[in-house]
């Protein structure tokens, strides 16, 4: 399946748009079901549009947006358009008022279509499209001075049509991969291992710590034993090479631009693409 109108509806830290050619050329020629346990912005999912897919993420607000777009695209679009079209003489003040409303709904656990609309609006109008929360789980990224439209309506409708055939899960990566079996393709774009080994940060307050990386490596081995085709991407760090090296996996190093870094001199780096086939 292919559709040029379908593209990620949010920008996401660690998104794989720039690596799509390198990823696609390393994919298995044929596979059964497609699994993406850390879907984020879904760059590869929306590039491939697989006929049989399962996507997952631990970020409840993100998955709520996927589900609202899947099931209620017209209501979602009306809510986003209302946010875009309301009079905002002071963009900064307007953005922070909506960020406050978004956080208020998060605290009340109101995972509805309004939250999805606010989620997409602040993603498009926050600094670098970075999703970051504080210790209390509240979104705290500043305004980026943009007044661009938050969505492209035709794209949202096409995304909705595609997602109706997709299993959308919210939770732990191991649970998401529980049904993966022989001949299935599992694309693992997990939270990055830190370039500085003394610091572990993540985009959810739950965090993705050292034990999470070790648990993921064990799952990768288990999926390999089940006969799954597995591909994992991450920073080219000592930790990642320790976890996946010396196991017979194919590890390719590729250069990337890291646009999310505020220091332009640090916007070039290396990532690894690890395949078990």
- Under a CB-based contact definition with an 8 Å cutoff, are residues 188 and 229 in contact? no
Q: What is the pLDDT along the chain (277 residues), one digit of tens a residue?
A: 556 778 999 988 777 878 999 999 999 999 999 999 999 999 999 999 999 999 999 999 999 999 999 999 999 999 999 999 987 889 999 999 999 999 999 999 999 999 999 999 999 999 988 888 888 889 999 999 989 999 999 999 999 999 999 999 999 999 999 999 999 999 999 988 877 655 555 445 557 888 899 999 999 999 999 999 999 999 999 999 999 999 999 999 998 876 555 555 556 789 999 999 9
pLDDT for the residue 208: 82
Which 3 state secondary structure label does DSSP give 88? Answer: coil
Residue 161 domain-assigned (yes or no): no
pLDDT for the residue 59: 94
pLDDT for the residue 202: 47
The model's pTM: 0.90
- CA distances from residue 262 to 11, 110, 200, 266 in whole angstroms, order as listed: 16, 33, 19, 8
> What is the rounded distance in angstroms from the CA atom of residue 231 to the CA atom of residue 50?
16
| Cβ burial, residue 84 (10 Å; 0-12/13-18/19+) | middle
pLDDT for the residue 176: 98
Q: Tell which of 108, 128, 155 closes a domain.
A: 155
One domain for residues 47 and 133: no
Number of domains in the chain: 2
Residue 101 domain-assigned (yes or no): yes
> What is the rounded distance in angstroms from the CA atom of residue 156 to the CA atom of residue 271?
31
One domain for residues 181 and 270: yes
- Domain range for 133: 65-155
One domain for residues 180 and 144: no
């Amino acid at each position: 399946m292919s559709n040029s109108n379908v593209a990620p509806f949010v920008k996401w830290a660690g998104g794989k748009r720039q690596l799509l050619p390198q990823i696609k050329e390393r994919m298995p020629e044929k596979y059964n079901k497609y699994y993406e346990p850390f879907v984020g912005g879904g760059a590869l999912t929306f590039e491939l549009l697989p006929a049989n897919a399962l996507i997952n993420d631990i970020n409840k607000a993100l998955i709520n947006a996927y589900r609202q777009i899947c099931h209620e695209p017209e209501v979602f679009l009306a809510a986003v358009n209302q946010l875009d079209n309301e009079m905002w003489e002071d963009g900064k003040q307007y953005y922070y008022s909506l960020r406050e409303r978004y956080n208020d709904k998060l605290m009340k656990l109101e995972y509805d279509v309004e939250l999805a609309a606010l989620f997409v609006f602040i993603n498009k109008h926050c600094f670098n499209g970075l999703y970051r929360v504080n210790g209390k789980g509240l979104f705290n990224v500043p305004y980026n001075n943009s007044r661009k439209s938050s969505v492209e309506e035709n794209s949202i409708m096409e995304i909705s049509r595609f997602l109706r055939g997709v299993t959308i899960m919210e939770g732990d990566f191991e649970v998401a991969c529980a049904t993966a079996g022989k001949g299935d393709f599992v694309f693992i774009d997990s939270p990055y291992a830190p370039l500085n080994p003394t610091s572990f940060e993540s985009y959810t307050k739950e965090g993705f710590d050292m034990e999470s990386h070790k648990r993921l490596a064990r799952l990768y081995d288990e999926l390999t034993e089940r006969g799954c085709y597995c591909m994992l991407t991450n920073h080219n760090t000592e930790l990642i090479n320790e976890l996946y090296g010396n196991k017979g996996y194919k590890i390719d190093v590729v250069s990337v631009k890291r646009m999310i870094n505020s220091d332009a001199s640090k916007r070039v780096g290396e990532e690894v693409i690890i395949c078990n086939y």
